[in-house]
Amino acid sequence: MSGEKFPGGQKASYRVVLFYSTSGTLVAEKILKRERIEYKLIPVPRHLSSDCGICLRFLREDEGRVMEAIGGKVEIQDIHSL
């Protein structure tokens, strides 16, 4: 995961969703996997939070599907563009 390129130079084509706990993040990950939505588990970017946890990154155009899939199932802490 540490080799992951952060979107410093990339266009903001990604969104990240943050959860309150690692467990919550992994529950959401399972849902995205089941729904076959493309995602990546990444460390929470430092500018978003000083948390030491992880979050899910997905393509901006998938936001509607992501929200529908995890809405009401796992509590979302925050959602950001990268």
What residues line the site for another protein (CB under 8 A)? 1-2, 20-24, 26-27, 30, 41-44, 49-54, 74-75
Which one, 37 or 41, has the nearer CB to another protein? 41
Which one, 38 or 61, has the nearer CB to another protein? 38
Identity at 49, one-letter amino acid code: S
42: its two tokens: 């990444």
Write the DSSP assignment of 36-60 as a string of letters.
T--EEEEEPPTTT-----EEEEEEG
**Minimum Å distance from CB 80 to another protein?**
16
